[in-house]
């Protein structure tokens, strides 16, 4: 990269999943060339889905143009898919961004803005199929890179996503340094953190527990997609 400073614009919003944001934030913070901006409509504290308060650093109206645009996921993704102020902001930021990125269901917000049409992308496993409503090719991978679109799967993939992106931007060696600094050496206590590895009864239990919300998410995704792709 030739620019001395790259603007990383990270959207925050009510009822997001904070780890979608804070995992990548930790990785990005290792690179002095990155100027990170946490942006929302105003400067009031934003609470994640579990009540953790995060302070914006800039409002949408005052936000600089992104070199890297990032959108996290979470339950608050549903209203944002129909929030024209947010979608217009993302479209404007994406016009000149070097990378347009997301983690988890943040990809559905990007899709609702028309920013993933024709691309390959990933999402949380429970919602992965919904990308297809937007003429996006769903890919069941931890991180998907398609041109300048970089997407991460569910929640904990945010660190993998950010390290992969940093390898694209600054090279593998610097990304490996950041990984070591963080002691990112996953050794989960249980095998089964994905539906491919978990016991079928656990997968069924998660699907049952989230069924009502997932139906709501799918209805909104179909509704928004129908408006987006109509002639």
Q: Which residues form the catalytic set?
A: 104
Q: Please identify which residue in the block is written with the tokens 């944001």.
A: 21
Helix ranges (H only) for 74-210 are 77-80, 84-94, 106-112, 157-170, 172-181, 200-209
Alpha carbons within 13 angstroms on the beta-carbon side of residue 140 total 7
Comparing CA positions, the residue from 167, 135, 134, 133 lying closest to residue 150 is 167
Beta-sheet strand order (sheet of 68-71): 58-59, 34-40, 6-11, 68-71, 99-103, 149-152, 143-146
Tokens of 88: 């217009």
Report the run of H or E that residue 40 belongs to, with start and end: strand 34-40
Query: Residue 164 in 3-state DSSP?
Result: helix
- Given a contact cutoff of 8 angstroms between Cβ atoms, the answer to whether 118 and 87 are in contact is no
Other beta carbons within 10 angstroms of residue 219's beta carbon come to 11
Report the run of H or E that residue 19 belongs to, with start and end: helix 18-28
- Given a contact cutoff of 8 angstroms between Cβ atoms, the answer to whether 99 and 127 are in contact is no
């Amino acid at each position: 990269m030739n620019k001395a400073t790259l603007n990383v614009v990270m959207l925050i919003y009510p009822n997001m999943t904070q780890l979608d944001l804070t995992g990548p934030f930790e990785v990005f913070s290792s690179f002095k060339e990155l100027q990170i901006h946490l942006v929302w409509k105003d400067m009031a504290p934003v609470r994640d889905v579990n009540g953790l308060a995060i302070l914006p650093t800039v409002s949408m109206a005052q936000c600089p143009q992104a070199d890297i645009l990032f959108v996290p996921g979470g339950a608050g993704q549903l209203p944002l898919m129909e929030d024209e102020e947010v979608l217009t902001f993302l479209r404007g930021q994406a016009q000149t961004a070097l990378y347009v990125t997301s983690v988890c269901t943040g990809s559905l917000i990007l899709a609702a803005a028309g920013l993933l049409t024709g691309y390959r992308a990933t999402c949380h496993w429970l919602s992965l199929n919904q990308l297809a409503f937007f003429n996006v090719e769903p890919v069941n991978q931890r991180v998907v890179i398609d041109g300048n679109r970089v997407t991460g799967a569910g929640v904990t993939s945010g660190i993998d996503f950010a390290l992969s992106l940093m390898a694209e931007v600054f090279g593998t060696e610097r990304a490996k340094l950041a990984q070591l600094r963080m002691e990112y050496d996953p050794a989960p206590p249980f095998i089964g953190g994905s539906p491919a590895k978990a016991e079928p009864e656990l997968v069924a239990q998660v699907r049952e527990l989230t069924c009502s919300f997932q139906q709501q998410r799918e209805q909104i995704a179909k509704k928004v997609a129908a408006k987006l792709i109509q002639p």
